[in-house]
């Protein structure tokens, strides 16, 4: 089946996803409150919409990738939201929102023919550009079969975890908690190593052949921290939102948490110091300041200008 695709939210993740579909020849209708973000997609052949309502009036499947719960609620259920579009059949939520929010969206669309598919994504902006995302899905199995050929265009892995709305969200929160824990732990370990005189490149090499290996040491540190690019693609505000959602679910189910509140505190501190729009990889700078060191790779160090 040939679908017209809609995209609402074309930032650091939604933009590369839309670009991938356009490059593969799909017809796409896009909307974002940041009109400048639409320009590259329009140049690539996308059609512009004036509202989420218009996207839903012109597209069969609409992908939503937005940073806040309020923005998603307005886009889906608001007076100019997707619910009022006459063509849309499936709303694919790529955002991390928590399970209860997804159930609220489903309830808000009960009087329509729109099916919500809960499809939170992981992998970062680089994976979004190369089709290497991992997508966890919950919702109607029959609808998944319809959209899976689309998901396969942008994802290396698609996991179905159940029909109940929100199950995929819970799985995503578990993943994000582990990812945040790995990164904060790596910041502390690398700060100690650098303070004691160890070479950061060597630390990465040694750790990645040992039991301490994790997503921070294999990806974030060698690709975003040591080169000093700090461009992993996830904003601090989104990371803080996700750890809060994890803690809410833990409280709901009566599961004790010791580590997650500390991670929330560390990310929250970074936000109070630098604002919430910085990349999550910049968190390491606070450890550098506290320790009086710079965790920099040899290649980036060679590029650094000589001090005056």
308 part of a folded domain: no
pLDDT digits (tens, 9 = 90+) for 55-113: 999 999 999 999 999 999 999 999 999 999 999 999 999 999 999 999 999 999 999 99
List the domain range (segments joined by +) for residue 198: 170-303
Among the three residues 122, 148, 165, which one is the final residue of a domain in this structure? 165
CA distance 267 to 269: 5
- Give yes or no: residues 124 and 270 share one domain: no
pLDDT digits (tens, 9 = 90+) for 175-192: 999 999 999 999 999 999
| CATH number of the domain enclosing 143 | 3.40.50.720
Q: Kindly report the three-state secondary structure assignment for every residue of the chain.
A: CCCEEEEECCCCCHHHHHHHHHHCCCEEEEECCCHHHHHHHHHCCCEECCCHHHHHHHCCEEEECCCCHHHHHHHHHCCCCHHHCCCCCEEEECCCCCHHHHHHHHHHCCCCCCEEEECCEECHHHHHHHCCEEEEEECCHHHHHHHHHHHCCCEEEEEEEECCCCHHHHHHHHHHHHHHHHHHHHHHHHHHHHHCCCCHHHHHHHHCCCCCCCHHHHHHHHHHHCCCCCCCCCEHHHHHHHHHHHHHHHHHHCCCCCHHHHHHHHHHHHHHHHCCCCEHHHHHHHHHHHHCCCCCCHHHHHHCCCCC
Q: Has residue 308 got a pLDDT over 70?
A: no
Structural domains of the chain, count: 2
- Give yes or no: residues 37 and 141 share one domain: yes
- Give yes or no: residues 33 and 46 share one domain: yes
214 part of a folded domain: yes
8 part of a folded domain: yes
Rg value, the chain, Cα: 20
- Give yes or no: residues 236 and 140 share one domain: no
21 part of a folded domain: yes
Instruction: Give residue 125's pLDDT.
Output: 82
Instruction: Give residue 299's pLDDT.
Output: 84
221 part of a folded domain: yes
- Give yes or no: residues 89 and 151 share one domain: yes
Q: Which CB contacts under 8 angstroms, 24+ apart, belong to 298-305?
A: 298/199, 298/201, 299/226, 299/227, 300/226, 300/227, 300/228
102 part of a folded domain: yes
- Residue 257: which pLDDT band, with cuts at 50, 70 and 90? very high
Among the three residues 136, 165, 194, which one is the final residue of a domain in this structure? 165
- Give yes or no: residues 180 and 231 share one domain: yes
- Give yes or no: residues 121 and 174 share one domain: no
Instruction: Give residue 303's pLDDT.
Output: 65
113 part of a folded domain: yes
Q: Has residue 1 got a pLDDT over 80?
A: no
What tokens does 247 get?
């803690």
- Give yes or no: residues 18 and 156 share one domain: yes
Q: Has residue 158 got a pLDDT over 70?
A: yes
CA distance 144 to 273: 43
Residue indicated by tokens 């948490």: 257
| CATH number of the domain enclosing 179 | 1.10.1040.10
CA distance 230 to 3: 36
- Give yes or no: residues 94 and 190 share one domain: no
pLDDT digits (tens, 9 = 90+) for 7-44: 999 998 999 999 999 999 999 999 999 989 999 999 99
Q: What is the mean pLDDT of residues 244-268?
A: 98
- Give yes or no: residues 179 and 237 share one domain: yes
C-alpha distances in Å from residue 304, one per residue of 94, 204, 226, 228: 38, 20, 12, 10
- Give yes or no: residues 11 and 124 share one domain: yes
Residue indicated by tokens 């849309």: 88
CA distance 201 to 55: 47
Burial of 308 (0-12, 13-18, 19+ CB in 10 A): exposed
Instruction: Give residue 300's pLDDT.
Output: 81
- Residue 130: which pLDDT band, with cuts at 50, 70 and 90? very high
- Give yes or no: residues 185 and 245 share one domain: yes
18 part of a folded domain: yes
pLDDT digits (tens, 9 = 90+) for 196-247: 999 999 999 999 999 999 999 999 999 999 999 999 988 999 999 999 999 9
What tokens does 190 get?
């690398």
Among the three residues 165, 198, 221, which one is the final residue of a domain in this structure? 165
């Amino acid at each position: 089946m040939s679908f017209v695709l809609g995209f609402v939210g074309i930032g650091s993740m939604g933009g590369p996803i839309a670009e991938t579909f356009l490059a593969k020849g799909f017809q796409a209708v896009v909307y974002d409150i940041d009109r400048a973000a639409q320009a590259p997609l329009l140049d690539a052949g996308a059609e512009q919409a004036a509202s989420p309502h218009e996207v839903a009036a012109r597209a069969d499947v609409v992908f939503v990738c937005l940073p806040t719960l309020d923005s998603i609620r307005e886009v889906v259920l608001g007076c100019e939201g997707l619910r009022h579009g006459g063509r849309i059949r499936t709303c694919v939520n790529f955002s991390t929102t928590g399970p209860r929010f997804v159930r609220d969206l489903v309830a808000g669309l009960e009087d329509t023919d729109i099916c919500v598919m809960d499809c939170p994504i992981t992998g970062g902006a680089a994976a979004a550009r190369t089709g290497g995302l991992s997508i966890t899905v919950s919702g109607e199995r029959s609808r998944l079969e319809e959209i899976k050929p689309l998901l396969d265009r942008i994802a290396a892995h698609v996991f179905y975890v159940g029909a109940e709305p929100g199950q995929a969200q819970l799985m995503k929160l578990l993943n994000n908690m582990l990812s945040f824990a790995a990164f904060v732990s790596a910041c502390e370990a690398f700060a100690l190593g650098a303070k004691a005189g160890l070479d950061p490149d060597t630390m990465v090499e040694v750790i990645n052949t040992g039991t301490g290996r994790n997503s921070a040491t294999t990806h974030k540190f060698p690709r975003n921290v040591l080169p000093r690019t700090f461009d992993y693609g996830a904003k601090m505000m989104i990371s803080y939102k996700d750890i809060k959602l994890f803690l809410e679910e833990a409280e709901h189910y009566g599961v004790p948490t010791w580590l997650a509140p500390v991670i929330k505190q560390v990310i929250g501190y970074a936000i109070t110091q630098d604002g919430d729009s910085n990349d999550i990889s910049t968190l390491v700078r606070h450890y550098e300041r506290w320790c009086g060191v710079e965790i920099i790779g040899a290649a980036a160090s060679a590029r650094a200008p000589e001090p005056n």
